[in-house]
């Protein structure tokens, strides 16, 4: 009982020491934060400090579960946004030293940056990242040095930063044991200073503007009305003289225009014409910034403002905007948009369009509450049943597509923009002023594969979204050669134009005129869910990461899968390799049968039972903690994991007690005390080195103390000489090698080999560490004569008194 009392005191001391360590860590953290706040960059003249974030935790990238999020509010009229960043390593123990880490910060306007730091590509049907808002990528070391980054004329609204330590392939990283290596934590300080443009005059976009040449440069802003009609700005220049420079005219929606970001950028010579009428497409309900300046020298690389007076606006086409209805589902990032309807079950929309109109559908993605999911947009031409059964048009000589009077050629071009609608073109492009971009969808009535498109947009930007639809008839490919008495006509495919193998004699010389007007119905679906359709391709779990009130959905992939929706298996091991790995980890535990055998023949039945439980729990835990393709779990994995760690520590504990020279009553007391304390330690933190070191250290202390006390009393060694000269040294060597493998040599790549060696070495070492003192003059690894008739066999037999 005396030993158990001292053991209890040691436990209390270790817990108190652990609390003291946590307090010391907290003091270190506060000191470092205080140091960080005192070494900030001085506020620059003319700048205003908008926000700062102190000691943001930064973690190694594994998925979006391990990223940190920064938020920077930027108001309007800002000419410069200066981001200051500083990262340092927080050393939380006295072991080793902390090396600077490569910290990555991704900045993006309107939403969280959708990136793949682990090198996976976006899955099929995902939007091209280059067609979205630019992501500003910064890299820095956590060495305590300041880094600044400036964005000129930023868009107003919220900017989001994604922070993480640069991804490293986990297969090549070491498996570090807590308490044996330096405890390093990366933190980041960041602030935002902005410079506001003071000289901005508010004007009316739809009224004439007169400017004195000698007042240039000037900056104006005006509000566009809620309309798709272009703005026609009448500009007059006064006091222009013969030797003055030419004038540039720039327009940009939401932010001040710059050399690289503008809606309109043109130049004119006021000596030739002091009045300019400039027409340009606008963003509805948005402030537009107009910058007028002088430019000396050659302006041949800048568009002529005269070209914006005679712009080719298709006034014959009716342009309308329709606001969509929002249908909330009551869960994170789960909502639909569609045409107003009372149908509660169907969120798809049937949009009727004709070739003489441009129809824009408008919906809003709310900041913060809508940007953390994945927006899915689907569109299809509503065709006859044969299209949905895999219909394909007839091919003539592999180059001509066949059509009939009842089945004409229809092309629907769909454009997607944020903040403004654009004009769909026959070529499958979208035009907004001088900017030409690729259309979101081009639906053709060619065959069943061309009438349907779908796209996913991860982390959609907050703002007003526009989907613009325009229909083109078969006038784009006709007049066409005909056959079958003019009932069927043929057009060349895009890949066969100019193909000399097509014989004109195959067709009649009759041509069929194309249609100038046509109608079509488009089936449209706009929906948002967490992850991709609320799931992760059956190879991962869809989770939510919360950070300072922000929420984002992400996929946590399993079984070696990767990518945004866990659909990429390019880095996954083969099933044979996974099977070999799990067999190594499980079958290596069967060497504990030798330990059980040796303990049993030496009459250590409690120890034998402990080794048996260790073998069983370790085998089933590693069988469960395997890729899903080969995993086998008899019960929940966390229960098996607890049993594996607990029985492993108990095996060390009972073995050390068995080696000690103490009485059976004290041994039983210590075994029970250890069982309770080790259960508490395992529940507290089974991965901590303290959970392993504390019972082993106490067991070794009891062992050495008992040996010393026994020797000081009897003056001779209690165990046989062979135990001290052969078995004990060999057992200590095996345990040492096993601990070195377990603590220092394991990596994710060699884990199944090194950990299997650990199983086998520890199982073998037990057989050499247990002293054979309950028998006399027998081989340590051979049962005693008549062993089967000993009490272990008779315990199940009835006695004479029963």
Comparing 613 with 780, the larger pLDDT belongs to 613
How many Cα neighbours within 13 Å face the side chain of 24? 10
**Alpha-carbon span 416 to 745, nearest angstrom:** 53
- Average pLDDT of the segment spanning 270-275: 84
Q: What is the pLDDT of residues 665-717, one digit of tens each?
A: 999 999 999 999 999 988 888 877 778 888 889 999 999 999 999 888 887 88
Say which residue the tokens 């193909």 belong to: 499
Cβ-contact 755, 174 below 8 angstroms: no
Say which residue the tokens 């059509």 belong to: 403
Q: What is the pLDDT of residue 540?
A: 86
Which residues lie closer than 8 Å to 127 by C-beta, 6 or more apart?
455, 456, 457, 458
Q: What is the pLDDT of residue 456?
A: 95
Among 151-165, 564-578, 685-699, the range with the most confident prediction by mean pLDDT is 151-165
DSSP sequence for 26-64: HHHHHHHHHHHHHSPPPPPTTEEEEEEEEEEEE-B-SSG
Could you give the 3-state DSSP secondary structure of residue 658?
helix
Q: Which residues partner with 193 through β-bridges?
A: 49, 82
**Alpha-carbon span 652 to 692, nearest angstrom:** 9
Q: In 3D, which of 77, 299, 60, 287 has the Cα closest to residue 167?
A: 60
Between 147-161, 409-423, 569-583, 639-653, the lowest mean confidence (pLDDT) is in 569-583
- Average pLDDT of the segment spanning 268-292: 90
| pLDDT bucket at 257, cuts 50 / 70 / 90 | very high
Which residues lie closer than 8 Å to 278 by C-beta, 6 or more apart?
232, 233, 235, 249, 264, 266, 305, 308, 309
Q: What is the pLDDT of residue 687?
A: 77
318-323/246-253 β-pairing: unpaired
């Amino acid at each position: 009982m005396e030993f158990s009392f001292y053991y209890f005191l040691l436990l209390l001391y270790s817990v108190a020491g652990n609390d003291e360590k946590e307090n010391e860590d907290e003091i270190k953290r506060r000191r470092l934060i205080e140091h960080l706040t005192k070494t900030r960059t001085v506020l620059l003249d003319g700048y205003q400090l908008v926000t700062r974030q102190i000691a943001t935790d930064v973690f190694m990238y594994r998925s979006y579960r391990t990223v940190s999020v920064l938020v920077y509010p930027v108001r309007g009229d800002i000419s410069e946004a200066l981001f200051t960043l500083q990262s340092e390593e927080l050393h939380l123990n006295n072991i080793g030293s902390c090396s600077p880490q490569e910290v990555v910060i991704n900045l993006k306007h309107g939403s969280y940056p959708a990136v793949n730091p682990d090198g996976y590509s976006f899955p099929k049907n995902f939007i091209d990242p280059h067609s979205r808002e630019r992501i500003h990528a910064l890299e820095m070391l956590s060495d305590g040095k300041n880094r600044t980054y400036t964005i000129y004329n930023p868009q107003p609204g919220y900017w989001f930063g994604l922070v993480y330590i640069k991804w490293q392939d986990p297969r090549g990283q070491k498996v570090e044991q807590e308490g044996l290596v330096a405890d390093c934590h990366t933190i980041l300080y960041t602030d935002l200073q902005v410079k506001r443009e003071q000289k901005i005059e508010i004007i009316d976009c739809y009224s004439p503007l007169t400017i004195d040449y000698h007042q240039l440069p000037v900056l104006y802003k005006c509000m566009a009305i809620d309309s798709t009609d272009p703005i026609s700005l009448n500009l007059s220049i006064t006091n222009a003289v013969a030797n003055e420079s030419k004038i540039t005219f720039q327009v940009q929606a939401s932010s001040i225009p710059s050399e690289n970001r503008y809606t309109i950028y043109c130049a004119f010579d006021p000596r030739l014409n002091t009045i300019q009428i400039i027409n340009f497409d606008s963003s509805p309900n948005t402030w537009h910034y107009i910058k007028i300046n002088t430019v000396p020298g050659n302006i041949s690389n800048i568009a002529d403002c005269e070209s914006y007076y005679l712009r080719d606006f298709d006034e014959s086409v009716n342009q309308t905007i329709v606001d969509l209805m929002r249908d909330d589902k009551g869960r994170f990032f789960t909502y639909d948009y569609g045409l107003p309807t009372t149908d509660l079950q169907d969120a798809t929309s049937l949009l009727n369009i004709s070739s003489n109109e441009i129809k824009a559908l408008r919906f809003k993605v709310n900041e913060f509450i809508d940007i953390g999911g994945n927006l899915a947009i689907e569109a299809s031409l509503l065709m006859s049943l044969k299209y949905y059964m895999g219909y394909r048009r007839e091919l003539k000589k592999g180059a001509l597509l066949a059509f009939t009077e009842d089945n004409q050629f229809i092309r629907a071009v769909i454009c997607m923009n944020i903040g403004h609608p654009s004009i769909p073109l026959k070529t499958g492009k979208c035009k907004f002023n001088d900017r030409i971009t690729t259309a979101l969808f081009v639906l053709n009535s060619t065959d069943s594969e061309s009438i349907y498109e779908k796209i996913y947009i991860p982390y959609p930007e907050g703002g007003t979204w526009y989907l613009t639809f325009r229909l083109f008839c078969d006038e784009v490919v006709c007049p066409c050669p005909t056959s079958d008495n003019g009932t069927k006509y043929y057009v060349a495919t895009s890949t066969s134009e100019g193909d000399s193998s097509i014989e004109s004699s195959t067709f009649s010389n009759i041509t069929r005129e194309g249609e100038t007007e046509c109608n079509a119905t488009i089936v449209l679906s706009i929906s948002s869910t967490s992850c991709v359709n609320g799931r992760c391709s059956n190879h991962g779990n869809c989770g939510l990461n919360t950070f300072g009130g922000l929420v984002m959905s992400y996929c946590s992939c399993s079984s070696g899968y990767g990518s945004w929706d866990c659909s990429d298996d390019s880095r996954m091991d083969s099933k044979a390799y996974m099977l070999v790995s799990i067999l190594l980890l499980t079958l290596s535990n069967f060497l504990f049968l030798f330990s059980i055998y040796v303990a049993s023949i030496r009459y250590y039945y409690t120890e034998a039972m402990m080794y048996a439980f260790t073998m069983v729990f370790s085998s089933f835990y590693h069988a469960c903690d395997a890729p899903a393709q080969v995993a086998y779990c008899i019960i929940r994995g966390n229960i098996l994991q607890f049993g594996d760690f607990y029985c492993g520590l108990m095996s060390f504990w009972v073995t050390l007690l068995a080696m000690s020279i103490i009485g059976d009553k004290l041994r039983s007391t210590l075994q029970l005390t250890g069982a309770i304390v080790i259960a508490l330690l395992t529940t507290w933190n089974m991965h901590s080195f303290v959970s392993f070191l504390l019972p082993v250290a106490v067991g070794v202390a009891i062992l050495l103390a008992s040996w010393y006390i026994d020797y000081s009393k009897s003056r001779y060694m209690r165990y046989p000489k062979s135990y001290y000269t052969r078995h004990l040294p060999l057992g200590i060597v095996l345990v040492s090698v096993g601990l070195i493998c377990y603590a220092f040599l394991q990596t994710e790549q060699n884990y199944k080999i090194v950990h299997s060696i650990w199983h086998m070495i520890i199982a073998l070492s037990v057989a050499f560490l247990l002293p054979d003192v309950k028998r006399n003059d027998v081989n340590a690894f051979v049962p005693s004569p008549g062993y089967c008739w000993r009490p272990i066999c008779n315990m199940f037999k009835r006695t004479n008194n029963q």
